[in-house]
Amino acid sequence: MFDTTLVVETYVWSLINEVKISREKMEQYAHALEFRAQEMEELSQRDPLTGLLNVRHLSTLLTSILYTAQCNHEPVTVVFIDINDFKKINDEQGHPRGDQVLQTVAAAIKSVARLDDHCFRYGGDEFCLVLPGCSEKHVEGSFIPRLLETVEEMESGLSLSIGLCQTDHQQGYVDAMSLVQQADAKMYQEKKNYKRLQEQPMSKEA
């Protein structure tokens, strides 16, 4: 009788131990899956070439930032950036060289941006930056000069066209995509001015 009880107890404890081990393995597997899911979510939000955020999340994120800014009566400035003569770089030096230029500009943006800033590759050679709690005046006086200086240090002669637009409680907040479109329009005007300046020497020679 004692031997039978011992065998049963040993068997039961063995089962309990196996269940415990299986549960621990399942918990480890669940944690690994959760980590992998978070990793995949992070990758889905990033542009693979530059490491910046991709444009799919711009509208949602900017809308959230604008809501917080309105609650706190803080400004939000959007910066739109385009690389001048990028098509010429691709055509004359090849797409791998163009990719290097994109990575250089992205690296410069990341080195200058604050932790609270959100930096997107908008598409092609265009970038969009969302700067919460930052005025247009501050961007013009500090952020842009530091960005241009950093780009020049990394890639001498590389030129950018930059447009920016601020929204705040004094002038009234605009919606996310209107803010982006206004910054884009200002960048496009800078691009036109750049091209006009580039064409002037050619006109004089003619």
- Which of 47, 82, 117, 125 is an active site residue? 125
3-state secondary structure of 21: helix
In the chain, DSSP finds a helix count (H) and a strand count (E) of 7, 5
- Strand ranges (DSSP E) for 67-168? 76-83, 118-123, 126-132, 160-167
> For residue 166, what are the β-bridge partners?
77
**Contact between residue 153 and residue 78 where contact means Cβ atoms under 8 Å apart:** no
For the record, the structure tokens of 185 come out as 């329009």
Catalytic annotation present for 82:
no
DSSP 113-142: S-TT-EEEEEETTEEEEEEET--HHHIIII
Nearest to 93 by CA among 157, 146, 42: 157
Which residue in the block uniquely carries the two structure tokens 């995949």?
Answer: 40
Residues acting as catalytic residues: 125
